[in-house]
Amino acid sequence: MKTDITDLWDLSKDRMELLFQQGLEWKKRRRRGIADRPLSGKTLGLIFDKPSTRTRLSFEAAMVQLGGTPLFMGTKDTQLSRNEPVADTARMLSRYLDAVAIRTFSQDLLTEMARAADIPVINALTDRYHPCQVLSDLLTLIEVKGGYKDATIAWVGDGNNVAHSWINASAILGFSLVLACPEGYGPAQEVVEKARAQGAASIRMAGTPEEAVEGADVIYTDVWASMGQESEAAARQKAFAGYQVNGALLSRARKDAVVMHCLPAHRGEEITGEVLEGPRSVVWDQAENKLHMHKAILEALLVTWRR
């Protein structure tokens, strides 16, 4: 039976922990120069409707390093751009590929693709969620903090797709998440309500960034205007004044707190260059860990979880 990752609700706590363990193992093996080929003969389709650097390259590199073959197509290169039904595309892809990772705007399109496909469908980013990003972030948290169980994550900025996936992860895994977002830019209410309906008592909204980071182990931020929101950039810069992660804000967190950013970063906007390049930044580890987490995801979906 296939497993999809359309959002983090597709995964149990036990399966997430298996991915973390395997991601760390893949990282160790790569650093030792060990070449593994469990995906020999497998193909991964990458259908992207949005630009990408880290997500695309890490999926492609992960597939190649595990012995498989990635095949990239922009959405405009597919018949989806000429209104072919999503279900028809999904059925066709299932005859050619072993899995498909999709980076697009609509979560509904992704869900429809997963429903119709006979192969695993992976969310490589939608406007609603970015599950693989947060899985790799959690891998980084485990590396630098030894675990997530007693951690407090402070989210400062836009309540966007990455924030939504952090909310899902907090509800599933049980760590504390505090979000500080400007008025009108908080996470979608239905995302928060679903998390709380699952018994999550560890998610709360803070009135200010300063309140959010008090006692935090991690300060996380992201760009103020995501892809597709470029026309809102000026208004967002005004609304997000005071939500910059800088030295003054970092000083309000725990002395050993680390800073995360999923990149690309706009230095001088949501984060200062001093903090991004500083000793408490783990953003480059985050970026690298996308490779190792994507290896764990692909091997699990194509081999371990299909046995």
Q: How confident is the model over 212-252, as pLDDT tens digits?
A: 999 999 999 999 977 677 788 788 999 999 999 999 999 99
CA 119 – CA 151 distance, rounded (Å): 35
Q: Which tokens is 214 given?
A: 């008090």
* CA-to-CA dists, residue 14 to 21, 48, 124, angstroms: 11, 30, 22
Single-letter amino acid code for the residue at 259 = V
Q: Give the residue extent of every domain in the chain.
A: 8-129+287-306, 133-282
Percentage helix, strand, coil for the chain under 3-state DSSP, each rounded to 5: 45, 15, 40
Instruction: Work out the number of other CB atoms within 10 angstroms of the CB of residue 33.
Output: 6
pTM of the predicted protein model: 0.96
The pLDDT value given to residue 206? 97
The pLDDT value given to residue 78? 76
The pLDDT value given to residue 199? 72
| 210 touches 252 (CB < 8 A) | yes
* CA-to-CA dists, residue 116 to 9, 86, 119, 129, angstroms: 19, 8, 9, 20
| 173 touches 148 (CB < 8 A) | yes
Domains 8-129+287-306 and 133-282 share a fold: yes
The pLDDT value given to residue 265? 97
Sorted by sequence, the CB contacts under 8 Å of residue 6 that are 6+ apart come out as: 107, 110, 111, 114, 121, 123, 129, 131
Strand order from edge to edge, sheet including 69-74:
69-74, 43-48, 99-103, 121-123
The pLDDT value given to residue 81? 67
The pLDDT value given to residue 82? 76
For 8-129+287-306, CATH number out of 3.40.50.460, 3.40.50.2300, 1.10.1060.10, 3.40.50.1370 equals 3.40.50.1370
The pLDDT value given to residue 307? 76
Q: What is the CATH number of domain 133-282?
A: 3.40.50.1370
CA 261 – CA 247 distance, rounded (Å): 15
Identify the segments of the chain with pLDDT beneath 70.
Answer: 81, 227
The pLDDT value given to residue 227? 66
Single-letter amino acid code for the residue at 109 = L
